[in-house]
A and B are shown apart, each in its own frame.
Chain A
Amino acid sequence: NAGVTQTPKFRVLKTGQSMTLLCAQDMNHEYMYWYRQDPGMGLRLIHYSVGEGTTAKGEVPDGYNVSRLKKQNFLLGLESAAPSQTSVYFCASSYSGRESSYNSPLHFGNGTRLTVT
């Protein structure tokens, strides 16, 4: 099992450009998440999905859009990149929210390092 796979690993954008970050999981997890990690701050939730075809906003959703057309994939889009979106982006997945959180750790990908100039 590959677990959670993120592509690309690195990307440099110019202000105003757009891009899509890809996340794929092979664990048949219902829940998927996009976080960003910035120096001196804890992981912050951007958007999440509780199942195929569903998405919801997290703590810092502005400037991002997501789609979950297939259960195993969760896409994060930046329509018009800004320097404030320079960050490391992590995708994660977990078992159904109906499971006890005790048994449902988050499984993270290895991140996408994005720089917006």
Chain B
Amino acid sequence: TQLLEQSPQFLSIQEGENLTVYCNSSSVFSSLQWYRQEPGEGPVLLVTVVTGGEVKKLKRLTFQFGDARKDSSLHITAAQPGDTGLYLCAATTSSGYALNFGKGTSLLVTP
């Protein structure tokens, strides 16, 4: 199993603050995905990064794939209460099919 380590595990901030969460591994990935999960729901895909050094933006969210394709970060600018949720990174296993997930970062944004 390719281990994906996410940090921090928990994050509680006030509305308007910026934050960065990380996803690290010792393995090289062909691609990496970020999902957000809200309470009582299944995870929903935010972005897929494929190329080393790639940066993708989704409104106030900025995703970066490390040059060596072993790590990724998610930066949120001016966080809002609607950003509250569990952020999960995921990568395909060596079989090429199954997705492995990190343990996630639980984000709480208070007004």
A binds B: no
Binding site for B on A (CB under 8 A): none
Binding site for A on B (CB under 8 A): none
